[in-house]
């Protein structure tokens, strides 16, 4: 399978998709109904409907390789009964050439709020006898396999948020340097000046830049932990850095994609009325940013992951280790002279204590009052984002 599909996916001659979502199965993949019936030759016939498929249908590649979650006959209920299949748009011959069209068809392309350059498709499998699919790995382990890619995709979406935020900031800063409006409040000029001289515009631009740079720094740190986890010679070191990376992924994805909505909104505000006019481009960042906190797992899904898998599972070990590292930075700031260092020390110490108290609350109350704990999961994620990003900025 790898020899047949991977080289052309890497070269860009073919493209790929992830087919998880169905009309009744959004974040809850236990509700997946698509089915895969085994054939005598080792292939499967796949039937079902998949929605929200990014680049599910287009003419920019010779073939589209769909990775489809489906259930085999007599599979266990829930997520433990889901398998993963390769279902190409065009079947691939033994010599690697393209064969006949498979039984998968695009029903429609969605009309969306944003990311309009990306075709989002509704795909129907098996209307004419069944789409031919090929099992990846073992039956009933499909979600496990898919989540290897999902975790990488979630980190990538976090980086998308940072990219859009940075571009929104650049656009707003460029506009603020050119737009002339009103005299400065300090009386330093008798004529109208560019709006970047006005305190509130500078506040908005400063907020945009700080949020973006903080998110970027945290993402880089997470990526560094991933590199060490994959490359270090010592197994224990690899495991420790992998655990830190896994804790940071939902924060990078969840916080960065929430942050970009605020940053893109401020970008519109800096433009004033022109921000509401499409030709300036500020509105596109605002529209395009909105999907980022939704796809590849909503912010609530990331927060549930942060609470359940990343905090409760290890008894808060990684979270507490990171908070201890923040404490080292607080101590280092205390040795520096100047008001700026003193202010950063106070704020970072306050943030670390708040984060520590939330982690303790999660550990103490998750069993007896899970509703209360998970009701606060998104605020926990956002707090972690603010504190961890502030930590990186302080470093």
Identify the pLDDT of residue 42.
Answer: 97
Q: Strand runs (DSSP E) across 55-103, as ranges?
A: 63-70, 83-88, 90-92, 98-101
Are the CB atoms for 63 and 90 separated by under 8 Å? yes
* Residue 45 pLDDT grade (very low, low, confident, very high; cuts 50, 70, 90): very high
CA R_g for the chain: 25
Identify the pLDDT of residue 305.
Answer: 97
* Residue 120 pLDDT grade (very low, low, confident, very high; cuts 50, 70, 90): very high
Identify the pLDDT of residue 55.
Answer: 98
Check 278, 296, 325, 349 and give the catalytic one: 296
* Residue 35 pLDDT grade (very low, low, confident, very high; cuts 50, 70, 90): very high
Contacts (Cβ under 8 Å, ≥6 apart) of 272: 179
Consecutive H or E run containing 124: strand 120-125
Quick: pLDDT tens for 351-364: 999 999 999 999 99
Average pLDDT over residues 240-266: 99
Average pLDDT over residues 211-220: 98
Quick: pLDDT tens for 299-341: 999 999 999 999 999 999 999 999 999 999 999 999 999 999 9
Percent of the chain with pLDDT over 90: 99
Identify the pLDDT of residue 11.
Answer: 97
Per the listing, tokens 């999907």 go with 291
Question: In whole numbers, what is the pLDDT of the chain averaged over residues?
Answer: 98
Average pLDDT over residues 21-38: 97
Are the CB atoms for 178 and 168 separated by under 8 Å? no
Identify the pLDDT of residue 140.
Answer: 98
Contacts (Cβ under 8 Å, ≥6 apart) of 379: none
Identify the pLDDT of residue 73.
Answer: 98
Identify the pLDDT of residue 248.
Answer: 99
Q: How far apart are CA 219 and CA 55, in angstroms?
A: 26
Are the CB atoms for 91 and 99 separated by under 8 Å? yes
The reported pTM is 0.94
296 classed as catalytic: yes
Quick: pLDDT tens for 368-394: 999 999 999 999 999 999 999 999 999
Identify the pLDDT of residue 360.
Answer: 99
- Judged on CB neighbours under 10 Å (0-12, 13-18, 19+), 96 is exposed
Average pLDDT over residues 186-205: 98
Per the listing, tokens 């970047």 go with 196
Q: How far apart are CA 199 and CA 206, in angstroms?
A: 10
Identify the pLDDT of residue 108.
Answer: 98
Identify the pLDDT of residue 43.
Answer: 98
Percent of the chain with pLDDT over 70: 100
Quick: pLDDT tens for 61-99: 999 999 999 999 999 999 999 999 999 999 999 999 999
Quick: pLDDT tens for 158-193: 999 999 999 999 999 999 999 999 999 999 999 999
Identify the pLDDT of residue 115.
Answer: 98
Average pLDDT over residues 33-58: 98
Domains assigned to the chain: 1-139 (2.40.110.20), 146-394 (1.20.140.10)
């Amino acid at each position: 399978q790898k020899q047949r599909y991977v080289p052309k996916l890497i070269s860009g001659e073919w493209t790929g998709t992830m087919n998880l979502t169905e009309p009744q199965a959004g974040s809850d993949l236990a509700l997946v109904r698509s089915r895969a019936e085994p054939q005598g030759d080792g292939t499967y016939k796949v039937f079902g409907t998949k929605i929200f498929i990014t680049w599910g249908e287009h003419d920019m590649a010779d073939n589209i390789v769909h990775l489809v979650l489906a259930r085999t006959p007599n599979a266990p209920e829930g997520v433990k009964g889901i398998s993963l299949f390769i279902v190409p748009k065009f079947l691939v011959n033994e010599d690697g050439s393209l064969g006949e069209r498979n039984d998968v068809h695009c029903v429609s392309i969605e009309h969306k709020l944003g990311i309009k350059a990306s075709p989002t498709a509704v795909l129907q499998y098996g209307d004419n006898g069944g789409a031919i699919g090929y099992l990846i790995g073992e039956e009933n382990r499909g979600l496990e396999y898919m989540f290897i890619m999902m975790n990488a995709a979630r980190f990538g979406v976090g980086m998308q948020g940072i990219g859009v935020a940075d571009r929104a900031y650049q656009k707003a800063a460029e506009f603020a340097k050119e737009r002339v409006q009103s005299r400065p409040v300090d009386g330093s000029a008798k004529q109208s000046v560019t709006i970047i001289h006005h305190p509130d515009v500078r506040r908005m631009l400063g907020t945009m830049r700080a949020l973006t740079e903080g998110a970027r720094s945290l993402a880089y740190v997470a990526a560094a932990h991933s590199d060490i986890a994959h490359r270090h010679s010592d197994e224990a070191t690899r495991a420790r850095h992998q655990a830190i990376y896994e804790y940071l992924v939902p924060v990078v994805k969840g916080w960065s994609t929430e942050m970009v909505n605020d940053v893109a909104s401020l970008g519109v505000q800096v433009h004033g009325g022109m921000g509401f006019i499409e030709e300036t481009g500020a509105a596109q960042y605002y529209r395009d940013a909105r999907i980022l906190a939704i796809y590849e797992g909503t912010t609530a899904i990331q927060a549930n992951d942060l609470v359940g898998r990343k905090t409760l599972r290890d008894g808060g070990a990684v979270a507490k280790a990171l908070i201890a590292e923040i404490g080292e930075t607080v101590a280092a700031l205390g040795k520096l002279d100047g008001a700026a260092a003193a202010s950063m020390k106070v704020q970072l110490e306050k943030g670390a204590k708040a984060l520590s108290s939330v982690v303790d609350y999660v550990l103490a109350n998750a069993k007896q009052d899970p509703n209360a704990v998970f009701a606060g999961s998104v605020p926990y994620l956002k707090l972690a984002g603010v504190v961890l990003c502030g930590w990186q900025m302080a470093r």
